[in-house]
Amino acid sequence: MYNFLQFAYFQNEFVPFADAKISIATHALHYGTGAFGGLRGIPDPEDSKKILLFRLDRHCQRLSDSAKLLQYDLPAKKIEEVIVDFVRKNRPTASFYIRPFIYTSGLGIAPRVHDIEKDFFVYGLELGDYLSPEGVSCRISSWYRQEDRSLPLRGKISGAYITSSLAKTEAVESGFDEAILMNSQGKISEASGMNIFVVKNGQIVTPGFEQDILEGITRDSILTIARDFGIKTIERPVDRSELLIADEVFLSGTAAKIVPVQRIENYELPKNRPIAEKLREKLTAIVENRETNYRDWVYSIAID
How would you class 292 by CB atoms within 10 Å of its CB: exposed for 0-12, middle for 13-18, buried for 19 or more? exposed
- Determine the pLDDT at residue 221: 98
Best CA proximity match to 201, nearest among 280, 283, 299, 270: 270
- Say yes or no to pLDDT of 97 above 90: yes
| Domain limits, the chain | 7-126, 136-287
pLDDT score of 136? 97
Separation CA 83–CA 22 (nearest Å): 20
Residue 263, beta-bridge partner list: 137, 268
pLDDT confidence of residue 232: 98
CATH of domain 7-126: 3.30.470.10
The CA-based angle 257-210-199, given to 5 degrees, is: 45
Largest CA distance in the chain: 55
Query: Residues 6 or more apart from 115 whose CB is under 8 A from it?
Result: none
Q: What is the pLDDT of residues 102-160, one digit of tens each?
A: 999 999 999 999 999 999 999 999 998 888 889 999 999 999 999 999 999 989 999 99
The pTM assigned to this predicted structure is 0.95
Is-contact 54 40, C-beta < 8 A? yes
Q: How far apart are CA 245 and CA 199, in angstroms?
A: 10
Q: What is the pLDDT of residues 174-196, one digit of tens each?
A: 999 999 999 999 999 999 999 99
Given this model, what pLDDT does residue 304 score? 79
CB 198 within 8 A of CB 246: yes
Return the number of other C-beta atoms located less than 10 Å from residue 277's C-beta.
14
- Name every residue whose Cβ is closer than 8 Å to that of residue 192 and which is 6 or more positions away in sequence: 141, 164, 165, 167, 168, 171, 178, 179, 181
pLDDT tens digits for range 15-64: 999 999 999 999 999 999 999 999 999 999 999 999 999 999 999 999 99
Per CATH, domain 136-287 is 3.40.50.620: no
